[in-house]
Amino acid sequence: MSANATGSRLPAWAAGLAGVTAGAVALGVAELVAGLTTASASPVIAVGGAMVDRTPAVVKEWAIRTFGESDKAVLVTGIVIVVALIAAGLGLLARRRVGYGTAGLVAFGVVGVIAAVSRPDSGPLDFLPSTVGAAAGAWALALLFRRAERHEEPSVATEPDTRTGRDGAPHHDRPVALREPAGSREPADSRKRAEPPVRRAGAALYTFDRRKLLTGVAVGVGVAGAGTVAGRLLGGREDVTAARRSVALALPRPAVAAKPLPAGADLHISGLSPFVTPNHEFYRVDTALVVPGVDPRSWTLKIHGMVDRPVELTFADLLRRPLVEADVTLTCVSNDVGGPYVGNARWLGARLADVLREAGIRRGADMLLSVSQDGWTSGTPVDVVMDGREALLAVAMNGEVLPAAHGFPVRQVVPGLYGYVSATKWVTEIKVTRFDQDTAYWTPRGWAARAPIKTESRIDVPRDGDRVPAGRTTIAGVAWAQHRGVDAVEVQVDGGAWRRATLADVPGPDTWRQWSIDWDLEPGGHTISVRATDATGYTQTPKVAPPAPDGATGYHSIRVRVG
C-alpha cells in the first residue's frame, strides 16, 4: 500500500482549513445555482427552514423571546458555524483518505437535496443547488489536497529535478516538509539539500506546500464569496425592490378612505409608543428565513375548497376592486405581558368578505386555511371574517406598498385575531374548509386553533428599572382589545387603589389606545401596574398565563426608583 492510501502528509490545521474552504465553495456554488435557477432556496436556507419547521414550539418561542427580531440571523449564524465545524471535520477525515472527505461532502449534499425538495414551496429544480454545490465542494477538497500535498517519486539522484517546476511552483518557493515520509528517518527537510533525497525501496516523498494550500484557499474563498453575492443578486432580491417600486406607481386611491385620525389619538409623550407604528419599526414575526420574493405579475390568489365558484385573482384583479383603508393593530400571540410584538398601522386592501362572497361559501365551512408562498398556513374562523369587520387582503401599510418583510404583495389583516390565526403574509391561497378537517401550521405545535386577541395593557413610560425624579411623574402606555375597544385603563402603585388613566382618542375599536396618568410618587422604590377594561365590560385578568396556547395574561408591572 502506498502512503497515499493510508494518509496524507498535511498537518491537521491545513486539512481542517481545506475542509472549511471546500464547504464554503459548496455553499457559495449552491447559492449561485439557486440564484441562476431561481430555485427557492439555497442549502442553508432549505436546511434552516426544515429545522425551523421541526423545532419544538417551546424552543421557537424561546428563540423569539431571547433573540427577538434577530432570531433568524442567530439561526443562520448557528447553521454556518455548525457547517464550518463539520467541514473542518471532513477535512480531517480527508487526511486519512481524500475519498472519505469527498464522500462526506456528498452526504451533505444529499441532506441539502432532501431538505430542499421537501419544502412546501419547492420547485422542480430545487435539487440542483445542493447537488452542484456538493460536487463543487468535493472537487475543491480533492484539488486542495492535491495542491497542498506534493507527492514526489524521488527522482534519480543524478538528474535535476524538473518536475517541481512543472506545476507552477518556482524552485525557490520550497515546500516545507512538515512530516517525514512514512518509514523514513531522514530529516524532514532532506530534499532541500543539494543532495537528492535518499531513496528507499517503494517510499515516496510527501511534502506539504503551505503556500500552495493558502493560495488555493484564497481562490476557494473568492469563489464562495462571489457565488454567494451573485446568487443573491440573481435570486430576486433586487426584483422585489423593483416590483415594489412599480406597484407604488400603480397603487389606486382608496374607494373608502379611513377617516383622518382624531387629533387626540396621539398624546405625543416622549417614550410612549406612537399611535401609528412606522413600518421600519413594526415588529416582524414569521417562520421565513429569507423574506419570500413574490413577483406581483405572476402572483395569484386561489380561493377554493368549500365554495360554489373557485376563484383565482391576479394582482391586477385585486387592485381593480374597491380598496378600503382601515386602522388595525396587529398583535402576536407570542407577546409576553409588556412585550413588544404589537404594532398599529393603516392598511389598504380589498375586503376579504366580498371576495369570499363572490366565491360562495358553502354551508358547514367554518375555517379559512390561508397559505403563504412559502407554505406556512393559518386557520381563520369564517364567521369572524364575515361579520362585517374590516378583514382585508392588504396591499399597503401606512401609505406605502407593503414592505417585503410584511407580506408583499398581499397579506391578510383581520382585526381582533392574533397574527398566527389571521395575518398571513405573502398569501397565495385560501382554502375554505372546516376546523375538523384541516390544521394550520401552529396548531399541532401546541397553540390554540382559535385565538381572539386578549384584552391587555402595557406601560411604556417610565421604563422598568428607571430612576425618576421625585414629584409629579407621567405614567403612560397603550392598551388593546381589538374589535371590542378599550373603555378604561387603571393604574395602581404599590398595590394601592386603582386610579383611572386619561384615554387618548381612537378611530375605532380595532386599534390600541394610548393612556396616561400623572402621579406624585414618594421617594423610594415603587411598583406600578396597569389594567384595561374593554367595551364589553371585561377587565383584563390578573391571572398570570404564558403566551402558549392562546396568549399571555396578567398585569404589566414595572419597578421604578424615585429620587
Q: Where are the alpha helices (DSSP H) in 97-237?
A: 98-117, 128-148, 163-166, 210-232
Residue 284 lies near ligand MTE (rule: CB under 6 A): yes
Residue 117, number of CB atoms within 10 A of its CB:
14
Assess 313 for contact with ligand MTE (CB under 6 A): no
- Closest C-alpha among 419, 445, 548, 447 to residue 52: 445
Report if residue 424 touches ligand MTE, rule: CB under 6 A: yes
Q: Which part of the chain contacts ligand MTE (CB under 6 A), choosing from 70-78, 250-258, 283-291, 302-310?
A: 283-291
Evaluate whether 432 touches 365 at the Cβ level (below 8 Å): yes
Answer with the entry of Mo ion, ligand MTE, none that 484 interacts with (C-beta below 5 to 8 A by kind).
Answer: none
Output 130 or 455, the one with its CB closest to Mo ion.
Answer: 455
Spatial neighbors of 49 by CB under 8 A, at least 6 apart, are 41, 115, 119, 287, 288, 289, 374
User: Closer CB to ligand MTE, residue 71 or residue 286?
Assistant: 286
Identify the H or E element spanning 95.
Answer: helix 71-96
* Binding of ligand MTE by 134 (CB under 6 A): no
Is residue 539 at the binding interface for ligand MTE, with CB under 6 A as the rule?
no
Q: Which does 432 bind (CB under 5 to 8 A by kind): ligand MTE, Mo ion, none?
A: none
The three grid cell numbers given for residue 187, joined into one nine-digit string: 530529516
61 is an interface residue for ligand MTE by CB under 6 A? no
> Which of 181, 176, 188, 172 has its CA nearest to residue 214?
176
SS3 state at 463: coil
Select 331 or 533, whichever has its Cβ closest to ligand MTE: 331
425-444 binders of ligand MTE (CB under 6 A): 425-426
Angle at Cα 374 formed by Cα 368 and Cα 380, nearest 5°? Answer: 15
Span interacting with ligand MTE, options 166-174, 352-360, 424-432, 481-489, rule CB under 6 A = 424-432
What are the beta bridge partners of residue 397?
347, 400
Figure out which of the listed residues 332, 410, 475, 530 binds Mo ion, where binding follows CB under 5 A.
332
> Cis (ω within 30 of 0) for the bond into 549?
yes
Minimum distance from residue 146 beta carbon to ligand MTE (Å): 46
Which position's Cβ is nearest Mo ion?
332
User: What's the closest the beta carbon of residue 291 comes to ligand MTE, in angstroms?
Assistant: 10
Contact between 285 and ligand MTE per CB under 6 A: yes
Instruction: State which residue, 65 or 179, has the beta carbon closest to ligand MTE.
Output: 65
Establish if 313 lies at the interface with Mo ion (CB under 5 A). no
Question: Cα 66–81–136 angle (5° rounding)?
Answer: 140
Binds ligand MTE (CB under 6 A): choice among 220, 419, 462, 547 = 419
Smallest Cα–Cα separation from 424: which of 288, 321, 241, 254? 288
Q: Which of 423, 488, 530, 560 binds ligand MTE (CB under 6 A)?
A: 423
Residue-wise burial string across 457-468, b where 16 or more C-beta atoms lie within 10 A, e elsewhere: bbbbbbeeeeeb
Minimum gap (Å) between residue 441 Cβ and ligand MTE: 7
Residue 282 near ligand MTE by CB under 6 A: yes
Q: Which of 145, 376, 420, 441 binds Mo ion (CB under 5 A)?
A: 420
Q: Which is nearer to Mo ion, 318 or 332 (CB)?
A: 332
CA distance 274 to 439: 36
Q: Does 515 participate in binding ligand MTE (rule CB under 6 A)?
A: no
Three-state DSSP class for residue 153: coil
Exactly one of 419, 462, 547, 551 binds Mo ion (CB under 5 A); which one?
419
d(CA 371, CA 231): 27
Among 184, 372, 428, 473, binds ligand MTE (CB under 6 A): 372
- Give the start-end residues of each E strand in 434-521: 456-461, 467-468, 471-480, 486-493, 499-500, 502-503, 513-521
Find all residues with CB under 8 Å of 361, minimum gap 6, and list them.
Answer: 306, 307, 382, 386, 432
372 binds, among ligand MTE, Mo ion, none (CB under 5 to 8 A by kind): ligand MTE
Report the residue number, 147 or 346, with the smaller CB distance to ligand MTE: 346
Give the integer Cα–Cα distance in Å for 361 and 8. Answer: 69
- Closer to ligand MTE by CB, 134 or 243: give it: 243
* 330 binds ligand MTE per the rule CB under 6 A: yes
Write 240-244 long-range contacts (CB < 8 A, 24+): 240/291, 240/293, 240/294, 240/404, 240/408, 243/295, 243/296, 243/297, 243/408, 243/409, 244/401, 244/402, 244/403, 244/404, 244/408
Output the CA–CA distances (angstroms, integers) from residue 73 to 31, 64, 244, 459, in the order listed. Answer: 17, 11, 24, 29
Q: Assess 332 for contact with ligand MTE (CB under 6 A).
A: yes
Nearest CA among 30, 26, 48, 24 for reference residue 115? 48
The span of 122-130, 261-269, 282-290, 312-320 binding ligand MTE (CB under 6 A) equals 282-290
271-310: contacts with Mo ion (CB under 5 A): 285
Residue 287 binds which entry of ligand MTE, Mo ion, none, CB below 5-8 Å type-dependent: ligand MTE
Which of 299, 347, 376, 408 is close enough to bind ligand MTE by CB under 6 A? 376
Q: Does 406 bind ligand MTE (CB under 6 A)?
A: yes
Tell me which residues touch ligand MTE (CB under 6 A). Answer: 282-288, 330, 332, 372, 376, 406, 419-420, 423-426
Tell me which residues touch Mo ion (CB under 5 A). Answer: 285, 332, 419-420
